[in-house]
Structure 1
Amino acid sequence: MTDLLSKFDPLIAEHAGLLSAGIRDPFGIVMDKVLSPTEAIIKGQHTILLGTYNYMGMTFDPDVVAAGQAAIRDYGAGTTGSRVLNGTYQTHKECEEALKDFYGMSHAMVFSTGYQANLGMVSTLAGKGDFIILDADSHASIYDGCKMSNADIVRFRHNDAADLEKRLKRLPPEAGKLVVLEGVYSMLGDIAPLPELVAIAKAHGAMLLVDEAHGMGFFGPNGRGVYEEQGVADDVDFVVGTFSKSVGTVGGFCVSNHPKFEILRLVCRPYTFTASLPPAVVASAATSIRKLMTAHDKRARLWEATRRLHGGLKARGFKLATETPESAIVSVLMPDQETTALMWSTLIELGVYVNMSRPPATPAGVFLLRCSICALHSDAQIDTVLGKFEQAAQMANLALHEPA
C-alpha cells in the first residue's frame, strides 16, 4: 500500500528538527487564557500578543460580547443548515445590513469564513473561457479559488502595474477578465498601488475584486479599506473581507453594487453548501461593524502604535519589510529559517507572541517575524516589546544593522 502522506516526509523531518533543537513549536501555540486583546497566558506566562490581527481590539468590547450572549440565548448555539436552507436567521440579515451600511453598498453576502469568501467569489465569478489575473503574492484562498474556477490563471509581479498591463494586453479583448488585488498584503504588510492597477484593469475591460481583509476598520475616512483611502471605490466591482481581523469574530463577506449580485447566493458553492455562521457570531459581528463606523479615536491610536513599533525596531537596527509603516502589519526580515525559529522561540520565552512566517506563505526565500498591532496596545507595551526584541537578538546572535 502506498502511504499517501509520504509526500510530506521532508516537512515532517524539518518540523521534527526544529523541535529537537529545543525550539518551541511555532505552529502549535495554545492560549491558556486570553486576558484582553493584547495579553494572554501562554504556558503559565503572561504574554504580550503581537500577532493576532486583532487590529481594532473588538474581541472584548462589552457591546459586542453582550450581542453574542443575547443571540445564543434567543437563537441557540448553531443553525445546522446552509444559508439557502434553514441557515438564515434574523441575525444574518442584520449582519448583512450592517455591512451594506458600513460600505455604502447595495448588496452584502456573509460567508462562514474569510477563506470561503475568496474561494467562493473567485471561483464563481470566473469560469471556463475566462481569465483571472492576480498579484503573485495573493493569499492562498485566492489561489484556491482560481484552481476551483476552471478559468485560465495569469499572474503578474507583485504590485507591478507595468507587468499587469503587459499581461492584460496579451489576452483576447472579448474574453471575460477578473483582476484580483489585495489592499494590504498580509506577509510584508505593504499596500497595493490601487489607482494605477485599477485604471489599467478597467482600460482592458476587466472586473475588479479587492480583498480588504487587512485594511477594513482603519484605512479611509470611513474605515472601508485601502480602496477607499486611495479613491478608487467607484471602479471596484467587489470587495471581499473577513470578520476575523478588525471585526473580532469569525466569518467572511463580499459587498457589491452589481445589480445581478443576489444570484450568487444560488450559484456560489462555498456559500450554498456550507452551514451558516452561529447566530452569536453574526450578532457580535453586526454590533462590531456598526461600532467601527465611528471608531475614529481607535483608528488614530492604531496608527500611532504602529509608527512607534516600526520606528523603534528600525532605530534598533532591525531590517523591516517596508521602509515606512504602510499598514498595521510590521514584518521583521530574518536571514534564514533557523534564525527565524530561534528568534521566535526566544521572544515567546520572553513573553512576546509574534508570527513566524516562511515559504510558501511568504515569497520564496523570505523569512519573517510578523507583528500585527492592536489599537489597544499601550505605549508601555510597545516599549516592552522593543526591549524584548533587542534582548532576543542578543540571545540569538542576530546581527543588527546600524540605523540610517
Structure 2
Amino acid sequence: MTDAVETPEAETLASDVRGPDLFSKFDALIAERQALLDTGVRDPYAIVMTEVRSPTEAIINGKPTILLGTYNYMGMTFDPDVVAAGKKALDEFGAGTTGSRVLNGTYQGHKECEDALKDFFGTTSAMVFSTGYQANLGIISTIAGKGDYIILDADSHASIYDGCWLGNAEIVRFRHNSVEDLDKRLGRLPADAGKLVVLEGVYSMFGDIAPLPEMVAVAKKHGAMILVDEAHGMGFFGEKGRGVYEELGVEDDVDFVIGTFSKSVGTVGGFCVSNHPKFEVLRLVCRPYVFTASLPPSVVATAAASIRKLMNAGEKRAHLWKNSKRLHQGLRDLGFKLGTETAQSAIIAVMLPDQQTTVLMWQALLERGLYVNMARPPATPAGTYLLRCSLCAEHSDEQVGEILGMFESAGRAVGCIG
C-alpha cells in the first residue's frame, strides 16, 4: 500500500469549496472596538475583579472600587445565613447534580427552593430554572405555540425575544410602555386566538417601570393571558417585596411571574411562579427545563435562604429607596441627563451623547474608584449611549456621597457637565 498523494488539482478543489469566513459579519464591530482601544481606554466589557470584599466594594486594577454596576440590589451575596446555607449543602450533597430535573437532578434543596418561592409569592406552583434567561426562554416558548400570539413591549429583554423566537407563535410588538398601542395591536388580532402579553415590571436599561394596571386591564379586555418579568423588581417593590405587580395592585390578574436569583436574591438561577391549575405539566414539555442540568445543591440552598430572608427585609427596602432617590436627585442637580424624571427603581441611567464620551466618562469614574456599567446598541435603542448605575441596599450614606463626588469630578474632567 502506498500513501495517497494530494495533486495540485485536489488543492485547487479544496480552496474552491471554502465559503466566506463566518466571522465576516462581525468585522465592523471588531474594527469599531479596536479603534476604541487604540485611543488608550480600557475595555469596558473585560473588567476583572481580583477580590470582592462586600456587596458594594471590590478590588479592580489593584485599587478599592465602589460597585455601582451590579444587580446586587438587596446585598444578599455576603449575608452570613445565605453563605452558611450554601456551605452546608455543598458538604452534604456535593458540588453538582449531573442531571436534569426530570431525571436525577431534583434534590431536596430544589424542592425547598420552590417551596420558598411559593411562600414568598403566595402561589400554588413554582418552577426553578438554571438561569433567568432559561426561565423566559422556556416558559414563553412553551405556553405560546403555533396559532397563538405573543404581544410584547418593543424594549423587552433579549431573553424574552429569544423565548419568542424559540417557539412557533406569532410575535407582535407594541411601543414601549404605550397602553394605547398595546390596545390597538390586541384589537387587530383574531378574537378566538390564544394571546400572551409579556411585560416587565422594571426595564433594565433606563430603570423605568411599566404602567401595569392600565396594561393588565387592556390585556384582560382582549382575553389575553399576562406574564410579568420581575427580574429587576423582586426584592424591593411591594409590601412583601414581590415586585412592581404587587406594588401596583395587579397580583390577582397576572398569570405568570418570571424572576431570577442573580439580582436581589444574590446567586444564580431563574424561576416562574403561577396559580394556573395546569401549570405543573410544563415540567414535562418545557425544553430548557427538561434538557438542562439542574442547579448545584449549594446554589438552590443559598437561593432558598435568601428568599426567606427577603420576606422580612422592609428596612433594607426602605434604605435602598432612600439611596436611589438621593443619587437620582444628586445627579440631576449636578447637571446630568437621566433616563427617568424621577427615581423609579434601583437603576439610574446617565444618558450621554455618543460612544466616545460614554467610554471616557466610564473610564474617568473607574480611575476615581467607581465601577458602573456602560451600555450601547444593540443593548440600547439605536443611537443611545448610557452609564447604568445599580444601587444596593448595602450602600452606606457615606458611599452615596462619595459616588456623587466622583460623578462631579469625572463629569467636569470629561466635559459632560459645566
TM-score (normalizing by structure 2): 0.95
| Aligned twin of 1:38 | 56
Provide the C-alpha distance between the structure 2 equivalents of 1:15 and 1:251, rounded to a whole number of angstroms: 31
Provide the C-alpha distance between the structure 2 equivalents of 1:171 and 1:364, rounded to a whole number of angstroms: 29
The question of 1:86 aligning with 2:90 is answered: no
The question of 1:392 aligning with 2:395 is answered: no
Provide the C-alpha distance between the structure 1 equivalents of 2:417 and 2:83, rounded to a whole number of angstroms: 44
Provide the C-alpha distance between the structure 1 equivalents of 2:382 and 2:239, rounded to a whole number of angstroms: 35
Q: Which aligned runs of 4 or more in structure 1 are off by greater than 2 angstroms?
A: none
| Aligned twin of 1:369 | 387
What code does the residue aligned with 2:23 have? L
Shift of 1:18: 1.3
Provide the C-alpha distance between the structure 1 equivalents of 2:383 and 2:251, rounded to a whole number of angstroms: 35
Please identify, of 13-22 and 187-196, the stretch whose mean Cα deviation from structure 2 is larger: 13-22
Among 160, 172, 184, the residue aligned to 2:178: 160
Shift of 1:268: 0.4
Provide the C-alpha distance between the structure 1 equivalents of 2:250 and 2:165, rounded to a whole number of angstroms: 28
Provide the C-alpha distance between the structure 2 equivalents of 1:378 and 1:314, rounded to a whole number of angstroms: 20
What code does the residue aligned with 2:93 have? Y
| Aligned twin of 2:290 | 272
The question of 1:104 aligning with 2:122 is answered: yes
For residues 45-67 of structure 1, give each alpha carbon's deviation from its aligned partner in whole angstroms, at most 9, with x where no partner exists. 10000010100000000000000
The question of 1:23 aligning with 2:20 is answered: no
| Aligned twin of 2:347 | 329
Q: SS of the residue aligned with 1:127? A: coil
| Aligned twin of 2:332 | 314
Provide the C-alpha distance between the structure 2 equivalents of 1:226 and 1:366, rounded to a whole number of angstroms: 26
The question of 1:297 aligning with 2:335 is answered: no
Shift of 1:249: 0.2
Provide the C-alpha distance between the structure 1 equivalents of 2:206 and 2:381, rounded to a whole number of angstroms: 9
| Aligned twin of 1:221 | 239
Larger Rg: 2
The question of 1:343 aligning with 2:343 is answered: no
What code does the residue aligned with 2:78 have? F
Shift of 1:397: 1.8
For residues 357-393 of structure 1, give each alpha carbon's deviation from its aligned partner in whole angstroms, at most 9, with x where no partner exists. 0111112221110000000101111111111111111
What code does the residue aligned with 1:226 have? V
Shift of 1:119: 0.5
Q: % of aligned pairs identical?
A: 74
| Equivalence map 1:94-243=2 (5 Å) | 94-243=112-261
Provide the C-alpha distance between the structure 1 equivalents of 2:27 and 2:375, rounded to a whole number of angstroms: 20
Q: SS of the residue aligned with 1:83? A: coil
Q: Which runs of 5+ in 2 are unaligned?
A: 1-17
| Aligned twin of 1:69 | 87
Q: SS of the residue aligned with 1:266? A: helix
| Aligned twin of 1:355 | 373
Q: SS of the residue aligned with 1:59? A: helix
Shift of 1:399: 3.7
Shift of 1:3: 0.8
For residues 210-249 of structure 1, give each alpha carbon's deviation from its aligned partner in whole angstroms, at most 9, with x where no partner exists. 0000000110110000000000000000000000000000
**Aligned-pair RMSD on alpha carbons?**
0.6
Q: SS of the residue aligned with 2:53? A: strand
TM-score (normalizing by structure 1): 0.98
Provide the C-alpha distance between the structure 2 equivalents of 1:130 and 1:232, rounded to a whole number of angstroms: 24
What code does the residue aligned with 1:364 have? A
Q: Which runs of 5+ in 1 are unaligned?
A: none
Q: SS of the residue aligned with 1:220? A: coil
Among 383, 396, 399, the residue aligned to 1:381: 399
| Aligned twin of 1:48 | 66
Aligned length: 400
